[in-house]
Structure 1
Amino acid sequence: MNVAERLVEILEENNITHIFGIPGDQIMPVYKALSKSSINHVLTKHEQAAAHAADAFTRTSDSIGVCMATAAGGALNLVMGVAAAYKDNVPMLILTGDNDLEMRDKNVFQSLPLRDVFSNITQENYSPLNGSEAVYALKVALYGLKNNPKGPIHINLSHDVLLSEDFMDVDLCYLCESDLSSLDDAQKLILESEKPLFVLGAGAISQAENIKMLADTYQIPVTTTFNGRGIISEDDLINLGLVGIRATPRAGKAIEESDCIIALGSIASERTFPNIDEDKFIHVNINKDVLKGKYQIQGTVEDVIMNLEFKKVNWLDELLAIDNEVTAEGVDDELKPQAAIKRILECFGDEIIASDAGSHTTWTTLIYRAKKPNRFLFPAATAPMGYGLPAGIGASIATGSRVVVINGDGDIQMNIQELATLKENNLDVIVFILNNSEYGIIRQWQEDFYDMEHYQTDLENPDFVMLAAAYGIDAVQVNTLDDLEFLLEKGLKGPLVVEIMVDKENIPLPN
């Protein structure tokens, strides 16, 4: 048995079911072993799409998303997708091939310092020098992704290491880091507080039931980050809604007036907390590098909330008295993007929604009501164009259920080749393309912030219906709100592309 074969065995032992990627020379030993395994390989048409698909696979399943590429160009194509997952703290495994060890640091064909390339966009980064190190690295990575899920982990595998039959198979002794030294001081602040507030990030998803019980019992209001939406249903009155630059009125008021903010599993970015009062900020995260405020607690959300005491408070009613409706103007106008998105969400709001980067994501965020976590997927912290379609593919493969992709005409073309992957896997994914023949947000920035005429924002688009047909996918174009409503009443099933001709429209600016 060689190292590549053992690595695939370890993946099987850890219940890895799917890998997204494209084969190539240096990673070929892994592909040979993979071809004889129980793991399903999903052949994407671009490595960036493989990374986005693995990202969405992780978000929507109980398993770890894995993407794989060969050296140089293949590995570099993963970078944008890995960076998006890193900024959103999505745990996933990245495997790259590389030249033989003696060639890795030399200026030869397809040799680049891949460990250095990935060092700033992964939580852990391994470049094993022999078979034993490779086996150990994979075991450590999988354990960490499951038990200490901070973000992506990368392993760079040299061709000769993969072919080696010389390795030791060691057992792990691996513990999650924690630092609960601020817990007592945080406890004191909580018990002194009259206006405590939970802010839930993606790291709190596994503790949804416990947090809901605490919030209800002690009447502590809840808010969420973008990636925490749906941990508690937004139809539940205890959930005040989104915080940050797109905060709901209730959530914004709660952040302003709270005397004890308890941030659970959030990275506390500047878009979530533009101005943190450190003296009232309790921050819980397993990743010590993101902790902020006076009360920094490195540990799992479960460990922390199960070791804290709370008291009943009485400020929820005054927050509920605030009108919390976030209105999106123009939702009934013919045919604005927000009008189309409202109808799509009315029809498919309970399905997984994958979006991208653009004005459509803003409108979807404003209109969407999250009832469960990880049902609205988009790259919140990096916002690359090209996420939506491959994410829809990854989520559909992970769940076996229908996924709805809402794209613009600009971002869909970043990874439009993945229509081939959609067709090949015959997935129930419906892709809505909102076509306004422009990069709308960029045009708005130019006009509003740079006092300039729009420049290089107009798009001469292909015929998306004919393009989808070329990939063997059914497609239809709609030009009126009535036609869209009629189409949605039919009960649509993917793979399907729906092109919606919409008006140019400015988005509402954030708070």
Structure 2
Amino acid sequence: MNVARRMVELLEEEGIDHIFGIPGEQIMPMYEALSNSNITHILTRHEQAAAHAADAYTRTSDSIGVCMATASPGALNMVMATAAAFKDSVSMLILTGDNDLAKRDGNFFQSIPLRDVFEKVTYENYSPLNGSEAVHALKTALYKLKNNPKGPIHINLSRDVLLSEDFVEFDLCYLCEHDVSSIEDAQKLISSSQKPLFVLGAGAISEAENIKMLAEMYRIPVTTTYNARGIISEDNPINLGMVGIRATPRAKKAIDECDCIIALGSIASERTFPEIDEDKFIHVNIDKDVLKGKYQIQGSVGEVIASLEFHKVDWLDGLLEIDNAVEVEGVDDELKPQAAIKRILNRFDNEIIANDAGSHTTFSTLLYHAKYPNHFLFPGATAPMGYGLPAAIGAAIATGEKVISINGDGGIQMNLQELATLKENNLDVIVFILNNSEYGIIRQWEEQIYGMDSYQTDLKNPDFIKLASSYGIDAVQITTLEDLEFLLKKDLKGPLVVEIIVDRQNIPLPK
């Protein structure tokens, strides 16, 4: 048995069911092994799309998203999507092929120092020199992704290493890192607090039920970051809504008035906390590198909250008196993007929404009402165009459920070729394209921030209906709000493309 076949066995043993990727010369030993396995390979049409799909697969399932590419041309195409996963702490596995060891880092055909390239956009990055190191790297990566999830892990695999039959396996002697030395001081702050506030990040999703029980039992209000929306339903009054630059009125008031912030599983970026009062900030995260504030606790959210004691407080009712509605103008105007998005979100209020980047994303964020975690997908820390369609594919394969992809006419063209992947796998994905024939946010920035006329933002778009049809996908164009409302009353099933011609519209800026 060679290394590639053993690595595929390890993936099977871990319960990996799908891998997204494109075969190529240097990664071919993995594909040979994969062809004789129980793992389903999803052939994308671009490696960036494979990595975005693996990202969404991780977000929407209990499994590890895996993507695979060959040497420099394929691997480099994955870097941007890997960076998006890194910034959002999405724990997925990236496997790349490379030239034989003797030609891996020299000036040879398709040789690029891939380990160096991926170093800044992954939490772990391996480039094994022999079969034993390769097998150990994969076993370690799978363990860390499952038990100590911080973000993407990359393994760069030379072709001759994959073909080697000379390897020895070692048992893992790895314990998850933790440092709870600040927990006693944090407990003192909680015990003295009269206005404690939970701020939940994506790292707390696995403990949703326990946190909900604590919050309701002790009447401690909850807010969420962008990626944790729905961890507790926004129908539940205990959840005040999202914090940060797009904070709801209740969440903003709570952040301003609380005397103790208990941030669980959050990176605590500047978009979530423009300012941090360190003396009242308890930060719990498995990743020590993101911890902030006076009370830094490195450990799993579940273990930490189980060791803390809380008491009942009575400031929630006052917060609930605040009107929490976020006003968005134009939601009933013909035919503005926010009007279309409102109706799409109302129609598909239980489905996973995969958002692309663009002006429509702001309206989706403001109008979306989160009931479940990981149902509103968007890599907000980097906001790359081209995420929406491959992410919808990854989520649909992970869940087997209907997924809604909302895109602008600019963003959809970044990975438009994935309509072929959508059709080939016959996925129940409805792709909405809001077409205003421009890069809207860029045009708005040009006009409002730089005081210039629109420059290089107008788009001469293809016929999206014909394009979709050329892939064998049903498609329809909508030009009126009445027609959209009529369409949404139907029992829609994907693959389906819906192009909506919308007005040019500025996004509302944060106040």
- Same fold, TM-score > 0.5, yes or no: yes
Q: 1:180 Cα shift?
A: 0.1
The CA deviation string for residues 47-66 of structure 1, in whole angstroms up to 9 with x for no partner, is: 00000000000000110000
Does 2:295 correspond to 1:291?
Answer: no
Aligned partner of 1:44: which letter?
T
Q: 1:510 Cα shift?
A: 1.6
After TM superposition, the structure 1 = structure 2 runs for residues 320-331 of structure 1, keeping only pairs within 5 Å, are 320-331=320-331
Q: Secondary structure of the equivalent of 1:454? A: coil
Match of residue 71 from structure 1: 71
Q: 1:490 Cα shift?
A: 1.2
Q: 1:445 Cα shift?
A: 0.5
Match of residue 38 from structure 2: 38
Match of residue 81 from structure 2: 81
Match of residue 403 from structure 2: 403
Q: Distance in 2 between matches of 1:153 and 1:369?
A: 32
Aligned partner of 2:213: which letter?
M
Q: Distance in 2 between matches of 1:288 and 1:391?
A: 29
Q: Distance in 2 between matches of 1:346 and 1:426?
A: 25
After TM superposition, the structure 1 = structure 2 runs for residues 338-417 of structure 1, keeping only pairs within 5 Å, are 338-417=338-417
The CA deviation string for residues 376-399 of structure 1, in whole angstroms up to 9 with x for no partner, is: 001110001000000000000000
Does 2:455 correspond to 1:450?
Answer: no
Unaligned runs of 5+ in 1: none
Q: Distance in 1 between matches of 2:378 and 2:228?
A: 12
Q: 1:171 Cα shift?
A: 1.7
Q: Distance in 2 between matches of 1:290 and 1:73?
A: 32
Q: 1:173 Cα shift?
A: 1.6
Q: 1:283 Cα shift?
A: 0.3
Q: Distance in 2 between matches of 1:181 and 1:236?
A: 34
The CA deviation string for residues 274-330 of structure 1, in whole angstroms up to 9 with x for no partner, is: 000001000000000000000000000001000000111110011111110001110
Q: Distance in 1 between matches of 2:227 and 2:148?
A: 18
Aligned partner of 1:31: which letter?
Y
Q: 1:195 Cα shift?
A: 0.5
Query: Identity of counterpart residues, as a percentage?
Result: 78
Q: Secondary structure of the equivalent of 1:160? A: helix
Q: Secondary structure of the equivalent of 1:120? A: helix
Match of residue 265 from structure 1: 265
Does 2:446 correspond to 1:436?
Answer: no
Q: Distance in 1 between matches of 2:328 and 2:148?
A: 39
Match of residue 91 from structure 1: 91
Q: Distance in 1 between matches of 2:293 and 2:454?
A: 42
Q: Distance in 2 between matches of 1:65 and 1:360?
A: 27
Match of residue 2 from structure 2: 2
Q: 1:172 Cα shift?
A: 1.1
Q: Distance in 1 between matches of 2:408 and 2:59?
A: 22
The CA deviation string for residues 369-419 of structure 1, in whole angstroms up to 9 with x for no partner, is: 000100000111000100000000000000000000000000000000000
Q: Distance in 2 between matches of 1:228 and 1:101?
A: 42
Match of residue 122 from structure 2: 122
Match of residue 425 from structure 1: 425
Match of residue 488 from structure 1: 488
Match of residue 187 from structure 2: 187
Q: Distance in 1 between matches of 2:444 and 2:43?
A: 37
Moved over 6 A (4+): none
Q: 1:128 Cα shift?
A: 0.3
Unaligned runs of 5+ in 2: none
Q: Distance in 2 between matches of 1:288 and 1:172?
A: 22
Aligned partner of 2:28: which letter?
M
Q: 1:13 Cα shift?
A: 0.4
Q: Distance in 2 between matches of 1:80 and 1:510?
A: 27
Aligned partner of 2:7: which letter?
L
Q: Distance in 2 between matches of 1:157 and 1:105?
A: 12
Match of residue 216 from structure 2: 216
Q: 1:169 Cα shift?
A: 1.6
The CA deviation string for residues 234-256 of structure 1, in whole angstroms up to 9 with x for no partner, is: 01000000000000000001001
Does 2:152 correspond to 1:147?
Answer: no
The CA deviation string for residues 129-181 of structure 1, in whole angstroms up to 9 with x for no partner, is: 00000000000000000000000000000000000000012221211000000
Aligned partner of 2:483: which letter?
D
Match of residue 135 from structure 1: 135
The CA deviation string for residues 417-460 of structure 1, in whole angstroms up to 9 with x for no partner, is: 00000000000000000000000000111111100101000000
Aligned partner of 2:399: which letter?
T
Does 2:18 correspond to 1:21?
Answer: no
Give the root-mean-square deviation of aligned CA atoms.
0.5
Q: Distance in 1 between matches of 2:416 and 2:105?
A: 35
Aligned residues: 511
Q: Distance in 1 between matches of 2:499 and 2:314?
A: 50
Match of residue 281 from structure 1: 281
Match of residue 252 from structure 2: 252
Q: Distance in 1 between matches of 2:414 and 2:312?
A: 50
* Length-normalised TM-score, structure 1: 1.00
* Length-normalised TM-score, structure 2: 1.00
Does 2:173 correspond to 1:177?
Answer: no
Aligned partner of 1:405: which letter?
S
Q: Distance in 2 between matches of 1:276 and 1:489?
A: 46
Q: Distance in 2 between matches of 1:433 and 1:105?
A: 43
The CA deviation string for residues 86-114 of structure 1, in whole angstroms up to 9 with x for no partner, is: 00000000000000111112111000100
Match of residue 62 from structure 1: 62
Q: Distance in 1 between matches of 2:42 and 2:199?
A: 36
After TM superposition, the structure 1 = structure 2 runs for residues 304-319 of structure 1, keeping only pairs within 5 Å, are 304-319=304-319
Match of residue 497 from structure 2: 497
Aligned partner of 1:403: which letter?
V
Q: Distance in 1 between matches of 2:314 and 2:58?
A: 38
Aligned partner of 2:494: which letter?
G
